Amino acid sequence: MDLSYIKPNIFTTLKNYKGEQFVKDIISGIIVAIIAMPLSIALAIASGVNPEQGLYTAVIAGFFISFLGGSSVQIGGPTAAFVIIIYGIVAEYGVAGLTVATIMAGLMLIAMGALRLGDFIKFIPKTITLGFTFGIALSIVVGQIKDFFGLRMTSVPAEFIEKLLALGKNFHTLSLPTVMVGVLALLIQIFWHKVSKKIPGSLIAIIVTTAIVKFGNLEVKTIGDLYTIKAGLPEFTLPQVTPDLISQMISPAFTIAILAAIESLLSCVVSDGMTGSHHNPNAELIGQGVGNIMSALFRGIPATGAIARTAANVKNGGRTPVAGMVHALTLLLILVFLMPYASLIPMSCLAAILIMVGYNMSGWKTVVHIIKTAPKSDIAVLLITLFLTVLFDLVLAIKFGMILAAFLFLKRMSDIANIRQWVDKSEADGERGELKSVPSNALVYEIFGALFFGAVGDLFEIAHEEGKNVLILRMRNVPAMDISGLEALEEVLEFCKKRGMILILSHVNEQPMKVMEKSGFIEKLGKENLCESIDKSLERAESLKK
């Protein structure tokens, strides 16, 4: 059995591994770990779990995604795309439910990879990915308002509209020192790249604002005020599983799996463009699956490929999975030795970091460009997916978006599919520019576009003229045909038989030919009436003159 389609990239990239690249991978891994540290903590808190669980995820899932994945440069870990999903699962089912859902999602990802479904992700339209990404980004930004402004609220509703109403009702309780710290953290992240592109602005924002709050004795909430930080290695934990919990987690697990597959493979495509390499999508899905299972067993949260961190890895010289593994090991050292200091980080600083994450992931410029330039159908898919993501949930948004996109695609295909009659005694051949003499006893029609259930209507409008005993259908521009198209052809054949006419098919392409052969249509038609070119078809018609 050939299992090369799930072979991890590490076995390929390390064949000619050199010391020079090893040094680059180590440097890149350390830099990416520094970038990932504040993000992992912030994303964990935004997801409703303890800060260290974000680092558990980056360490465990990050290691296995690099080691077993199908990309040479992918960096795995917690991402902003999961925040709203995780928060909802934890709020309704607790951490135990999240653990079970993450393990189930991991198993789904492994199954997707084993079944070679990695290539199917490319069929999700860009308008859908942009729509739910923008919706998630908007939800993340709104979710940071409480901590950024220091609002005195006991709890924040999970639903988007109720959340906005509650935030507006309590906005008068804002804390000026908290706002100032948050604004400073934002400004540092916005302008720090002018000072250094190697050291992330989020890390500098944490260091500066933590020092200001600590030594200035400012009344600003910190992580330690809300959470008990636990340093040390993550512990292996088996979840308490019940049949009821498994059945309840099927839908959340499916959401996690689909989102992890989409985001990780999108990240692979982006990194392929940066490095000129090619990822193995099915191996990547299996790596993602194992990474998520192991993350859940060590108290982590769902993980996927992180586009920004992967891009940073490439820019800093990482070219093999070793860089991702070094990134995970560096975060492990931070977790063991530096985690207690995370309790001093201001919550408004973490909120500012997540606001920047939401802004960067939103792709708002692309969304605006599509709204200005794209067809109305594409705009509708984008906006509906966006609103359903914000107001309801991601699964509903993707399902409805895919159904709508599919129907709109079929409508476009049916619009361009048509049948045209050769009305003159001669017709210009598009391939060679020659004039074809049409026998007086023949009608010739040319079909354009796929012959499927949405485009067969025109086939029944073929005219009938007295004195004609041959109908030629030219099919060189029919790339594909489904069962509805075949049934339409069978009805045309019956139409011809009732009127004493011979049906001739010209230049049938490979896929329609297979459909006809499998169904036995060619025997009904007669092999002599299946011609390889229009010339042969016209000669056949000429021979049938009465």
In this prediction, residue 425 carries a pLDDT of 46
- pLDDT-based confidence at residue 63 (cuts at 50, 70, 90): very high
Q: At which residue do the structure tokens 């492990």 appear?
A: 332
Dist CA 406 CA 125 (whole Å): 9
Q: What's the pLDDT band for 461 if we cut at 50, 70, 90?
A: low
Tell me the two tokens of residue 219.
Answer: 């009344």
DSSP 150: T
CB contact at 8 A, 312 and 46: no
Residue 267, both tokens: 């990240």
Q: What percent of the chain has pLDDT over 90?
A: 58
Instruction: Give the confidence band of 460 by pLDDT, cuts at 50, 70, 90.
Output: low
Per-residue HEC secondary structure of 231-264 comes to CCCCCCCCCCCCHHHHHHHHHHHHHHHHHHHHHH
Give me the amino acid identity at 359. Answer: Y
Give residue 402's pLDDT.
85
- Please say whether the beta carbons of 264 and 128 come within 8 A: no
Burial per residue of 444-476, b for 16 or more beta-carbon CB atoms within 10 angstroms, e otherwise: bbbbbbbbbebbbebbeeeeeeeebbbbbbbbb
When mean pLDDT is compared across 228-237, 255-264, 360-369, 409-418, the lowest value belongs to: 409-418
**pLDDT 10s digits, 120-149:** 877 788 898 889 889 988 998 999 999 999
Given a cut of 80, whether residue 395 has pLDDT beyond it is: no
Distance from C-alpha of 445 to C-alpha of 463, rounded to nearest angstrom: 10
User: Residue 455: its pLDDT value, please?
Assistant: 62
Over residues 442-466, the mean pLDDT reads: 74
Judged by average pLDDT, the poorest of 6-10, 226-230, 415-419, 451-455 is 451-455
- Res 121: pLDDT: 74
Query: Taking the chain, what is the end-to-end CA distance rounded to the nearest angstrom?
Result: 60
Residue given tokens 């026998």 in the structure block: 439
- Residue 4: the pLDDT is 76
Is residue 121 within 8 Å of residue 282, measured between CB atoms? no
How far is the C-alpha of 122 from the C-alpha of 124, rounded, in Å?
A: 5
Choose the weakest-confidence range: 151-160, 221-230, 495-504, 529-538.
Answer: 151-160
66, 63, 43, 77: which is closest to 302 by C-alpha? 77
pLDDT for position 166: 93
The alpha carbon dihedral of 252, 253, 257, 260 has a sign of positive
**CA separation, residue 542 to residues 268, 438, 442, 474 (Å):** 58, 8, 8, 16
**Whole-angstrom distance, CA of residue 85 vs CA of residue 302:** 10
- Looking at per-residue pLDDT, the higher value among 324 and 338 belongs to 324
| Helix, strand, coil share (%) of the chain residues, nearest 5 | 65, 5, 25
Q: What does the block give as tokens for 527?
A: 């092999």
What's the rounded mean pLDDT across residues 293-307?
A: 95
Residue 177: the pLDDT is: 96
Percent over 70 (pLDDT), the chain:
95
How confident is the model over 356-385, as a mean pLDDT?
90
For 449, the 3-state DSSP assignment is coil
- Could you report the per-residue pLDDT of 417-441, keeping only the tens digit for each? 778 887 654 555 544 456 678 888 8
Distance of alpha carbon 429 from alpha carbon 48, whole angstroms? 67
Residue 1 is classified by DSSP as -
Cα–Cα distance measured from residue 69 to residue 78, given in angstroms and rounded to the nearest whole number: 16
Residue 93 has pLDDT above 50, yes or no: yes
Mean pLDDT of 181-206: 92
Q: Which two tokens stand for residue 144?
A: 């940071």
pLDDT of residue 457: 63
Distance of alpha carbon 13 from alpha carbon 70, whole angstroms = 11
* Token digits of residue 450: 């796929």
For the record, the structure tokens of 59 come out as 């360490």
